[in-house]
């Protein structure tokens, strides 16, 4: 069986996913949801999408009467994910949602609950969870090859351009760099160490308060503590290009990825040598694997379900609280 997917939000990442899906063995792009008729027309032509599988933001609840669509992949600005995923669930379709899945853990939990109630699956677009070099480090850590894990460093950033884009609008983005790119270090700290943090501390710095308005973080430095005693030290920023590095160290050795979460190829090495796993387009692998999860009940090595998305949002909530109060926040 093939997972028949409609993409909601035909922007830059939606286009990347659509292109990558053309090479997928198990997922097929069959529909679109968009507010822009000219984009719908262009996608219909480019991807051979029938008129009956095209919807807009007013009428997409009708997708419930369409037996030719199994899942909707929500790739819109962050603040819209919550309501859109809940509408997809109510229409009886599986939801795949881009990161961050919502703006707060409370919102994320509502999405998880809505999908459970509707008996549909909810997956979050964590493409790194299927990336071979990442998975090799996770395997080494699980097999004890690094010894007892004591430290993770995650550096996630890029220099953001156009000041009018939604990513710099608190209403649509829900925050700043943390929501968009810092989340990779949070998520990475969790899958690299294999633990959930029990506390966070965080400090914000802002060099450009005109571009980065109230509620839109430019740079946040944050720390996390884990039950084993391991600690993580991370940086999230919208002001430094080519900042994309993970470093994990245990009592016996290290693993590092740089770049660690870009579109690839990911590069990495450990105390045992270079990582040589092949590069495949992340979004193609992700869609194949997600089709396996939804249609065949496959279990991914690193979870990509809604609960996984909520775990990251709980940490983001705590980081913002720590920035505000200057205090250590217990999770």
Q: Binding residues for ligand NAD, per CB under 6 A?
A: 9-14, 35, 75-78, 80, 98-99, 125, 127, 166, 172, 180
HSE, side-chain direction, 13 A CA sphere, residue 304: 27
Q: What gap in Å lies between CA 3 and CA 46, rounded to an integer?
A: 19
Cα–Cα–Cα angle for 14, 111, 96, nearest 5°? Answer: 30
Give the nearer residue to ligand NAD in terms of CB position, either 179 or 322: 179
Give the nearer residue to ligand NAD in terms of CB position, either 18 or 329: 18
44's enclosing H/E stretch is helix 37-47
Q: Which residue is nearest to ligand NAD (CB)?
A: 11
Give the nearer residue to ligand NAD in terms of CB position, either 85 or 140: 85
Give the nearer residue to ligand NAD in terms of CB position, either 80 or 243: 80
In the complex, least distance from residue 264 CB atom to ligand NAD, rounded to whole angstroms: 11
Among residues 55, 73, 93, 99, which one is catalytic?
Answer: 99
Query: Which tokens go with 21?
Result: 């899906």
Give the nearer residue to ligand NAD in terms of CB position, either 3 or 97: 97
Report helix, strand and coil shares of the chain as percent, to nearest 5.
Answer: 40, 25, 40
In the complex, least distance from residue 280 CB atom to ligand NAD, rounded to whole angstroms: 15
Is 327 noted as a catalytic residue in this protein?
no
Residue 160 CB: number of other CB atoms within 10 A? 21
**φ/ψ of residue 66, rounded to 5:** -105, 105
Among residues 55, 184, 191, 238, which one is catalytic?
Answer: 184
Q: What gap in Å lies between CA 76 and CA 174, rounded to an integer?
A: 13
Ramachandran bin of 245, using left for φ above 0, alpha for ψ from -120 to 50, beta for the remaining angles: beta
**CB within 8 A of 211, min separation 6: which ones?**
163, 168, 218
In the complex, least distance from residue 146 CB atom to ligand NAD, rounded to whole angstroms: 27
Beta-sheet strand order (sheet of 27-33): 54-55, 27-33, 3-8, 71-74, 94-97, 122-124
Give the nearer residue to ligand NAD in terms of CB position, either 34 or 249: 34
Is 13 noted as a catalytic residue in this protein?
no
CA 231 to chain centre: 22
| Listed residue (316, 306, 276) closest to 133, CA to CA | 276
Q: What gap in Å lies between CA 259 and CA 245, rounded to an integer?
A: 6
In the complex, least distance from residue 37 CB atom to ligand NAD, rounded to whole angstroms: 12
Q: What gap in Å lies between CA 294 and CA 327, rounded to an integer?
A: 41
In the complex, least distance from residue 125 CB atom to ligand NAD, rounded to whole angstroms: 5
Give the nearer residue to ligand NAD in terms of CB position, either 33 or 192: 33
In the complex, least distance from residue 206 CB atom to ligand NAD, rounded to whole angstroms: 21
In the complex, least distance from residue 172 CB atom to ligand NAD, rounded to whole angstroms: 6
Task: List the catalytic residues.
Answer: 99, 184
């Amino acid at each position: 069986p093939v997972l028949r997917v409609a993409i909601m939000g035909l922007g830059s990442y939606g286009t990347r996913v659509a292109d990558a899906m053309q090479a997928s063995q198990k997922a097929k792009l069959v529909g679109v949801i968009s507010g822009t008729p000219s984009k719908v027309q262009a996608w219909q032509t480019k991807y051979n999408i029938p008129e009956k599988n095209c919807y807009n933001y007013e009428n997409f609840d009708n997708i419930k009467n369409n037996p030719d669509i199994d899942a909707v992949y929500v790739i819109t600005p962050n603040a819209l994910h919550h309501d859109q995923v809940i509408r997809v669930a109510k229409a009886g379709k599986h939801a795949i949602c881009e990161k961050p899945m919502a703006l707060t853990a409370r919102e994320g939990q509502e999405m998880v609950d809505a999908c459970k109630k509707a008996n549909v699956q909810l997956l979050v677009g964590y493409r790194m969870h299927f990336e071979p070099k990442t998975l090799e480090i996770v395997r080494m850590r699980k097999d004890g090859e690094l010894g007892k894990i004591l430290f993770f460093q995650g550096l996630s950033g890029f220099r953001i351009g156009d000041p009018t884009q939604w990513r710099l609008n608190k209403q649509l983005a829900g925050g700043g760099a943390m929501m968009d790119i810092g989340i990779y270090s949070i998520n990475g700290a969790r899958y690299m160490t294999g633990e959930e943090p029990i506390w966070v501390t965080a400090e914000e710095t802002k060099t450009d308060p005109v571009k980065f308005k109230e509620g839109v973080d430019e740079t946040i430095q944050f720390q996390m503590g884990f039950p084993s005693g391991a600690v993580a030290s991370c940086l999230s920023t919208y002001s430094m290009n080519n900042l994309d590095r993970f470093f994990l160290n245990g009592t016996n050795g290290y693993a590092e990825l740089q770049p660690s979460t870009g579109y690839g190829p990911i590069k990495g090495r450990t105390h045992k040598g270079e990582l040589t796993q092949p590069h495949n387009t992340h979004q193609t692998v992700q869609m194949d694997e997600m089709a396996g999860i939804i249609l065949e009940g496959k279990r991914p090595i690193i979870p990509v379900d809604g609960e996984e998305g909520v775990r990251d949002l709980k940490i983001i909530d705590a980081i913002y609280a720590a920035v505000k109060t200057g205090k250590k926040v217990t999770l």
